[in-house]
Chains A and B, each alone.
Chain A
Amino acid sequence: MRTSLRRLHRKIGEINQRYREPRIEMSRGVRAALEFLRIYLLFLVCLMVYKFILLVS
């Protein structure tokens, strides 16, 4: 189990290394817009999960 986890950790490290540099150049504005969109969508999902919990309970 521990060996498998270590192997997985190593594999993730390799993936991070392989894709460290994005190939597509993004301006600071595009990157900021993408980050804002990501946070906003996660916020909306959290709201929906909250509504789901309200309805279940």
Chain B
Amino acid sequence: MNVFAKLYYRLRKMWKAIRLYLVIAGPGIVVMVADNDAGGITTYAATGAKYGYHLIWFLLLLIPVAYYVQEMTVRLGAVTKRGLAEAIFDGFGATWGWFALIDLMLVNWLTLVTEFIGMTAALHIFGVPPWLTVSGVVLLMGIIVLNGRYWTWEKIALLFCALNLIYIPGAFMIHPSVSDILKNGLIPNFPGGFNGQLFFFLMANIGTTIAPWMLFFQQSAVVDKGMQEKDIPWGKFDTLLGSALTVVVAIFIVIVTGTTLNGTDIESAGQAAQHLMQTDRYVGTFMAIGLFDAGLLGAICISLASSWAFGEIFGWAHSLNQNIKQAPWFYASYFFALITSGLVVLIPGAPLVLITLFVQVIAVTLLPAALVFLILLLNDRPTMGDYRNSGWQNLIGGFIVACIVVLSSLYGISIMFPNLFQ
């Protein structure tokens, strides 16, 4: 009897913990899964097609990288109750603040363009014209945000996150060789040696896993959700789960294209889906649906990241819990970014695939600037108190910044001296 009583007590305790987590869950998972956006899917698909399973080990390394970067925003948001943009203005003054804000706006807008590129390419496979996709998406996203509650928005976003897992059954359907994945994917190696193309792919993969918008988005979401200091451990767990999930999905995409399209130069995820349709109709369809979902989820989050940041600085009402009358500028900036970026996709002859890959690389190049501010803010003892960065956390953060700067520099050198790494 005593054993059953203990078991019942433990189960109740566990259930209580799960229920508590479900209340707190959201910002971490949404931001990390949304990170597998249209540009991300394209990058992973191209990585798998180009290098097979050989860069899976590199993707695994990105789990702790994404976690350590993003968990800092949870602590900063829960302690200061303000978004990153406002925290930078307050901490470092207006000059640095404007630099950070302009960086964010530019990169976010460019990334939004890539989301529309992905969505139009995905639906084009099913015969939907781009103009219809763009207008349909703007309408759908309007309905999602105008419901007037952060809570509802988050649950809808989580639903789209679940759809992102579609690549996992897709990978199983093509029966990849597990021994090949383990043999080629888990041992660190640099396929083809050091060259500009490899640096480009490594950077694009980092850029799809951690991006400037994610820092600003998660911190603002933590604030909008009303997370407190006591919620930080759950917020960290949410981020860890999201980091693992995003990389697992990325690995499955690499497995899909690495198995079926290995050695092919794939320019976009849309093209990969079309190729896959010829091999396996269902896997191709999964790829297209996943690409659309990824683009939509990315667009939902990125446009909000910009609107939140603008609202914080300009002092406008900037919460999803407020309706369009209470927060007109918040919603105006949201739709402005959405519509203008959607229109770029409709320009005839625009180099859409090239734009997608370059936006990822530019995003990662600008990431260290925002990261350095974040690390400095996390070391502000009067504000952060017991939640400030430890020595280890600073070391890891500094190491990530250094790695990104070195990779960006190597890619820069390979642009200036194309024959140096051949």
Query: Which residues of chain A have a CB within 8 Å of any CB of chain B?
Result: 11, 15-16, 18-24, 26, 30, 34, 37-38, 40-41, 43-45, 47-52, 55-56
Docked complex Cα distance between A19 and B96 (Å): 10
Query: Which residues of chain B have a CB within 8 Å of any CB of chain A?
Result: 89-94, 96-97, 99, 313-315, 351, 354, 358, 361-362, 365-366, 368-369, 372, 376-377, 380, 405, 408-409, 411-412, 415-416
A15 touches which of B89, B91, B351 (Cβ 8 Å): B89
Docked complex Cα distance between A51 and B418 (Å): 11
Q: Are A19 and B369 neighbours in the complex by a CB distance under 8 Å?
A: no
Given A22-B91, A22-B93, A34-B96 in contact, is the A44-B377 Cβ separation under 8 Å? no
Q: Are A41 and B368 neighbours in the complex by a CB distance under 8 Å?
A: yes
Q: Shortest beta-carbon distance, A10 to chain B, in Å? A: 11
Residues of chain A lying within 8 A (CB to CB) of residue B354? 52, 55-56
Q: Are A24 and B376 neighbours in the complex by a CB distance under 8 Å?
A: yes
Q: Are A41 and B90 neighbours in the complex by a CB distance under 8 Å?
A: no
Q: Are A50 and B415 neighbours in the complex by a CB distance under 8 Å?
A: yes
Mostly, the A contact residues are: helix
Q: Are A48 and B92 neighbours in the complex by a CB distance under 8 Å?
A: no
Closest to B92 in A: A22
Q: Are A45 and B314 neighbours in the complex by a CB distance under 8 Å?
A: no
Closest to A51 in B: B415
Docked complex Cα distance between A30 and B8 (Å): 56
Q: Shortest beta-carbon distance, B409 to chain A, in Å? A: 7
Q: Shortest beta-carbon distance, B115 to chain A, in Å? A: 19
Q: Are A44 and B412 neighbours in the complex by a CB distance under 8 Å?
A: yes
Q: Are A44 and B97 neighbours in the complex by a CB distance under 8 Å?
A: no
Q: Are A47 and B412 neighbours in the complex by a CB distance under 8 Å?
A: yes
Q: Shortest beta-carbon distance, A5 to chain B, in Å? A: 14
Docked complex Cα distance between A20 and B315 (Å): 16
Can you pick out 29 interface pairs between chain A and chain B where the beta carbons lie within 8 Å of each other? A15-B89, A22-B91, A22-B92, A24-B377, A26-B92, A34-B372, A37-B368, A37-B369, A37-B372, A40-B405, A41-B365, A41-B366, A41-B368, A41-B405, A43-B412, A44-B409, A44-B412, A45-B362, A45-B365, A45-B366, A47-B415, A47-B416, A48-B361, A48-B362, A48-B365, A48-B411, A48-B412, A48-B415, A51-B358
Residues of chain B lying within 8 A (CB to CB) of residue A49? 362
Q: Are B93 and A20 neighbours in the complex by a CB distance under 8 Å?
A: yes
Closest to A46 in B: B412
Residues of chain A lying within 8 A (CB to CB) of residue B96? 22, 34
Closest to B106 in A: A45
Docked complex Cα distance between A44 and B368 (Å): 12
Closest to A34 in B: B372
Docked complex Cα distance between A20 and B416 (Å): 39
Q: Are A15 and B358 neighbours in the complex by a CB distance under 8 Å?
A: no
Q: Are B94 and A19 neighbours in the complex by a CB distance under 8 Å?
A: yes
State the 8 A-B residue pairs at the shortest beta-carbon distance, nearest first: A22-B93, A19-B94, A24-B91, A19-B89, A16-B94, A51-B415, A44-B412, A47-B412
Q: Are A15 and B94 neighbours in the complex by a CB distance under 8 Å?
A: yes
Docked complex Cα distance between A34 and B361 (Å): 21
Docked complex Cα distance between A9 and B408 (Å): 36
Residues of chain B lying within 8 A (CB to CB) of residue A11? 314-315
Q: Shortest beta-carbon distance, B416 to chain A, in Å? A: 7
Q: Are B368 and A48 neighbours in the complex by a CB distance under 8 Å?
A: no
Docked complex Cα distance between A48 and B351 (Å): 15
Docked complex Cα distance between A40 and B94 (Å): 21
Closest to A21 in B: B93
